Amino acid sequence: MPSVLVVEDDQFVRSALIRHLTEAGHTVRSVGTALEALREVAHLRFDVVILDLGLPDLDGAEALKMLRGITDVPVIIATARDDESEIVRLLNDGADDYLTKPFSVEHLSARIAAVLRRARATSEEAAPSSVVRVGGLAIDPLRRQAELDGTRLDLTRREFDLLTFLASRPGVVVARKELLAEVWQQSYGDDQTIDVHLSWLRRKLGETAARPRYLHTLRGVGVKLEPPV
């Protein structure tokens, strides 16, 4: 299921987009400012971003530039401005496509499908190396594959997300609350969920809480992943 980030401050347009995209079978998250969008793409993987140019905090061109600074995710610009030179400039600045408001749902869906097709073709061709390595761990977020000392790990989606999140900040103690928010995308929940997943992950990494190698739990504080000494 393709995941879409909708960046749109107009509540009405936003709910309409969410409804239509969800009906079209996409997983949708939405935010109303450029800064929130940057936060989202820094933490989560999206297949496409729909970016409104008229946002309250940052100019659209600025927002696009900052997005491009952290991610290669396809970006479709949604603009009320029917300004050709502006659109050309944005396409040169890394936008993948654009739509002029008001646009139909069918039009948007067609653009999304085209962008996804292109992105898929490119990733298959180029296979960019975005592999995260920590000690003997190698995690490929693009292919959603992880290896430990050259052996493929058989992880569930959640275990993979958890491992990737921790491995992308090695040595940093992450609070359970943050894991809940970032990996489970919940603002509340009980620690047990996390502990259970951590223990499964631990088993797959061939270690125990008593004899940790990569995963270290700091009681009452959080958990960190670092290479074994």
Please tell me the number of Cα atoms within 13 Å of 2 on its side-chain side.
23
14 is a site residue for Ca ion (CB under 5 A): no
**CB 52, min distance to Ca ion, A:** 5
Which residue's CB is nearer to Ca ion, number 40 or number 226?
40
Would you state the structure tokens that stand for residue 218, as one six-digit string? 């700091």
**CB 11, min distance to Ca ion, A:** 10
**CB 110, min distance to Ca ion, A:** 22
Out of 2, 3, 9, 20, the residue judged to bind Ca ion by CB under 5 A: 9
Which residue's CB is nearer to Ca ion, number 17 or number 138?
17
**Chain residue at closest Cβ approach to Ca ion:** 54
Question: Residues 19-58: x/- map of binding to Ca ion (CB under 5 A)?
Answer: ---------------------------------x-x----
78 is a site residue for Ca ion (CB under 5 A): no
**CB 32, min distance to Ca ion, A:** 9
Residues that bind Ca ion (CB under 5 A): 9-10, 52, 54
